[in-house]
Amino acid sequence: MSRFAKKVLRQAQDESSITDIGDTYKLGHSDKFEYAYKSAKGISEERVREISAMKAEPEWMLEIRLKALKVFWEKELPTWGGDMSKINFDEIYYYLKPLEKAGRTWDEVPPEIKATFEKIGVPQAEREALAGVKSQYDSEVIYGSLRKSLADKGVIFLGMDEGLKQYPDLVKEYFGKLIPMGDNKLAALNTAAWSGGSFIYVPKGVDVGLPLQTYFRINSENAGQFERTLIILDEGANLHYIEGCSAPSYSSGSLHAAVVEIFVKKGAKMQYTTVQNWYKNVYNLVTKRARVEEDGLMRWIDGNLGSKLTMKYPSCILAGRKARGEILSIAWAGADQHQDTGAKMIHLAPETTSQILSKSISKGGGRATYRGLVQINKGAKGARSKVVCDALILDSKSRSDTYPTNKIMENESTLEHEAVVSRISEEQLFYLMSRGISEHEAEGMIVNGFLEPVMREVPFEYAIEMNRLVNLEMEGSVG
Amino acid sequence: MKTQELKKSRTQDNELLIIKKLKVEVEGKEILKGVDLEVARGEVVALMGPNGSGKSSFSNTLMGNPNYKITEGEIFFEGKKINEMSPDERANLGIFMAFQYPVSIPGVTVREMLIASMRSKGQEVKALDVKRQVEEVARELRIGDDLLSRGLNEGFSGGEKKKMEILQMKVLQPKLAILDETDSGLDMDALNFVAYELQRQIEQTGMSVILITHYQKMLSLVEVDKVVVLKKGLLVDKGGKTLIAELGKNGYKKYE
């Protein structure tokens, strides 16, 4: 508790505002309109066939879905990580189709939905800073665009459903090859029930320049969002992809179980930035993996601010000589939140390098867990990996844990690991306050300063947005 | 012209800081045992005394460090009692302390901190103007550009930290600056231009100073109006410049 004067009054205000924290969530409204199609609750073979039929999919995809459904039923939920016992898979709507078909122009999007995306800033961002946009609303991508110059160069940026329709052979070649349905229970569920997500192909040597972005929005109560993203970067290609997420503030939770597979070919460079701001009743259980060939670079930038429970460990399989993997992540665990996040780096080839920088903050009883794996296989001579995990705990109710696993099978390799858990020191607070800055603002500055090494890698407008979200969360800090 | 006016105001009984019978405890132990001190506008007071006499406790108490508990006595700043005020409230009245051991604030640049400071005072400032001002003062103090873009005091040498404190004082322009052994850790050259900048600011803004130091050099470079000696939590002597020379020669033996 604060020792800097005005104690009693300030504490009373703080405690009331902590319970109000949901009120600061600006994207918590829901849009009311008639869905084009809403499936019954729960998942079954019948439901999977229905989803596949509505999408008029090829037979092989239906077979994959049905097989995955069996795997989902057979597999147990993981016993490690967060508490998933409250997820009732029978209460979830697995398929919600908002519109008959996706809009090509912004004018085709219904006004209610348009207003939501405008609040999020999507159309403006598209005009100013993006090369292409997709907006997914519950189960379907409802709007998309791509600059003509990129389409002319052969860049493909489609919703996953559309991608399957137009490029079935490409999808068949890569789908589920990096994250097989048996990988984990949620990946199996995604494979059975997937809808939406992005399909991107960047041809040899093409630099996309400005980022491509997809915005994911869950609108309905108890909705499940199972987007499936597949990105293929051909040799020497360069892409920055951004995803953002939000959901309304419903009393009962939603489930977001995505699968993202990325193939980075020789000499290609990929950055994947996530700003996850789901409402605090969403279970966010995501599997993300990239395979990086010779001289390729995969960079995950992962900001997890929202959700009730997030379990996500973006991975790089460094398969070619001199392939590089980087993961920079921020996790914010506030009241009733558990961020169980981390990274996996698998070194298969010589001279591969990886870097993990993980920053977490826990506050108001929140729990931040770092869970990571560095594996250096026999033969990956000269492989190097550096792991830095910093945790900042803002009060005595909150918790931070670190579970690093290192499997080093090659002697000629190096691994550095640093883990620091810290609290905001009174000395730092006193210093900033002696410069006229209020205790509350001083705490915010220290927190933002702590996050700065990751924020500086995030595109400017997203860094501003993340700073804003952190400052909102800092409101009502007891210190 | 401006300087003259300020000198004049100094002679009018115009007290900025009045401390009466101040007693202070740290972790239950009495450190200051009844200190009285007055500092006039524009006045430079040298606070001297052996190690452990309570000089740093005195400056921390003035700034409102919560580890220092006032058990008795009063502190008035511009006639207002500030005993109960938080450090930020005191800073916004115009009190500044250059720390003896400045902490580092990772990821926060001095510029970002100063912008927040100035806005806390209700000043409307543009980030770009502050940036320019900080760069200019940094040049005067021979502070390298790379230090400005780093987190405050992160990996700074002792001397760099001290110069960064003076930079903040120059930008924030307080009414009262408490310099807690700012000269220790500075090399001769740095000491010379820090003292020069301090003297310039006193003359230009009429700032009052409480100068805590062990070294004669600093006191010879800054125009000191009054010298007070603190020993075991009590003021044991008071005098003009001549006292500095005397202490330099004989030390604190005579107060045994």
CA pair distance B211, B47, nearest whole angstrom: 6
Nearest CA distance, A106 vs chain B (angstrom): 37
Helix, strand, or coil (residue B100): coil
The answer to the question of residue A227 being in a domain is yes
Nearest to A5 among B86, B120, B151 (CB): B86
CA pair distance A420, A389, nearest whole angstrom: 6
Token digits of residue A142: 């409802």
Chain A environment of B168 (Cβ under 8 Å): 435
Neighbouring C-alpha atoms within 13 Å toward the C-beta of A81: 21
CA pair distance B198, B176, nearest whole angstrom: 12
For residues A110 and A194, membership in a common domain is answered with: yes
Query: Of A312, A333, A361, which closes a domain?
Result: A312
For residues A5 and A134, membership in a common domain is answered with: no
Nearest CA distance, A445 vs chain B (angstrom): 7
For residues A174 and A252, membership in a common domain is answered with: yes
Burial of B124 (0-12, 13-18, 19+ CB in 10 A): exposed
A-contacting residues in B 79-138 (Cβ below 8 Å): 84-92, 96-97, 99, 102-103, 105-108, 112-114, 116-117, 120-121
Cβ pair B108:A446 closer than 8 A: yes
Cβ pair B65:A450 closer than 8 A: no
Cβ pair B117:A437 closer than 8 A: yes
CA pair distance B155, A77, nearest whole angstrom: 46
H helix or E strand, kind and range, residue B220: helix B216-221
Give me the residues of chain A with pLDDT under 50, please. 1, 6-23, 476-479
Q: Tell me what pLDDT residue A20 has.
A: 35
Which residues, including other chains, have CB under 8 Å from residue A293's CB and lie 6 or more apart? A264, A265, A266, A268, A319, A320, A323
Chain B environment of A434 (Cβ under 8 Å): 63-64, 87-88, 90-91, 96-97, 99
Cβ pair A435:B106 closer than 8 A: no
Chain B environment of A450 (Cβ under 8 Å): 106-107
| Mean pLDDT estimate for chain B | 91
For residues A173 and A286, membership in a common domain is answered with: yes
List Cα–Cα distances, A472 to A113, A329, A341, A347, A423, in angstroms.
25, 19, 22, 39, 19
Length in residues, chain B: 256
* Residue in the structure block whose two tokens are 């108490």: B61
For residues A17 and A99, membership in a common domain is answered with: no
Hey, what amino acid is at B68?
Y
* Residue in the structure block whose two tokens are 């068949």: A172
Q: Determine the average pLDDT of the residues in B85-107.
A: 96
Cβ pair A428:B97 closer than 8 A: no
Query: Of A274, A297, A312, which closes a domain?
Result: A312
Nearest to B84 among A5, A436, A453 (CB): A5
How many Cβ pairs within 8 Å bridge chains A and B? 95
B45-68 pLDDT, tens digit per residue, is 999 999 889 999 999 999 999 999
For residues A284 and A431, membership in a common domain is answered with: no
Token digits of residue B23: 């007693």
pLDDT at B147 over 50: yes
Residue A428 DSSP class = H
Query: ∠ CA A410-A412-A417 to the nearest 5 degrees?
Result: 80
For residues A201 and A264, membership in a common domain is answered with: yes
**Residue from B89, B108, B115, B121 to probe the interface with A (highest A Cβ count within 10 Å):** B108
Q: Determine the average pLDDT of the residues in B195-223.
A: 93
The answer to the question of residue A113 being in a domain is yes
Q: Tell me what pLDDT residue B252 has.
A: 87
Residues of A contacting chain B (CB within 8 angstroms): 3-6, 425-428, 430-439, 441-442, 445-446, 448-453
The pTM score is 0.82
* Residue in the structure block whose two tokens are 């005098």: B239
A323-354 pLDDT, tens digit per residue, is 999 999 999 999 999 999 999 999 999 999 99
Cβ pair B107:A439 closer than 8 A: no
How many CB atoms lie under 10 A from the CB of residue A91?
14
Q: Tell me what pLDDT residue A250 has.
A: 64
Among A39, A266, A265, smallest CA distance to A139 is for A39
Cβ pair A449:B106 closer than 8 A: yes
For residues A71 and A136, membership in a common domain is answered with: yes
Q: Which residue of A has its CA nearest to B169?
A: A435
Chain B environment of A436 (Cβ under 8 Å): 88, 91-92, 117, 120-121, 172
Whether residue B173 lies within 8 A of chain A, CB to CB, comes out as no
For residues A76 and A49, membership in a common domain is answered with: yes
Nearest to A434 among B91, B106, B108 (CB): B91
pLDDT at B12 over 70: no
Chain A environment of B84 (Cβ under 8 Å): 5
Q: Which residue of B has its CA nearest to A454?
A: B107
Categorize the per-residue pLDDT at B247 as very low, low, confident or very high, splitting at 50, 70 and 90: confident
H helix or E strand, kind and range, residue A273: strand A269-276
Whether residue B151 lies within 8 A of chain A, CB to CB, comes out as yes
The answer to the question of residue A396 being in a domain is no
CA pair distance B48, A276, nearest whole angstrom: 56
For residues A302 and A434, membership in a common domain is answered with: no
**Residue from A430, A439, A457, A474 to probe the interface with B (highest B Cβ count within 10 Å):** A430
Chain A environment of B67 (Cβ under 8 Å): 426
Range of the domain at A62: 33-312
Judge whether A200 and A241 are in contact, CB under 8 Å: yes
For residues A168 and A134, membership in a common domain is answered with: yes
Q: Which residue of B has its CA nearest to A428?
A: B103
Query: Of A262, A280, A312, which closes a domain?
Result: A312
Chain B environment of A446 (Cβ under 8 Å): 105, 108
* Residue in the structure block whose two tokens are 């309905």: A220
Nearest to A445 among B65, B96, B108 (CB): B108
Q: Tell me what pLDDT residue A26 has.
A: 66
Nearest CA distance, A180 vs chain B (angstrom): 41
Chain B environment of A426 (Cβ under 8 Å): 66-67
Report residue A94 CA to chain centroid gap.
Answer: 20
What ipTM does this complex have?
0.94
Judge whether B224 and B208 are in contact, CB under 8 Å: no
Q: Tell me what pLDDT residue A37 has.
A: 78
Nearest CA distance, B95 vs chain A (angstrom): 8
Total structural domains within chain A: 2
Which CATH architecture is the domain B2-255 placed in? 3-Layer(aba) Sandwich (3.40)
CA pair distance B61, B233, nearest whole angstrom: 13
Q: Tell me what pLDDT residue A139 has.
A: 75
For residues A175 and A205, membership in a common domain is answered with: yes
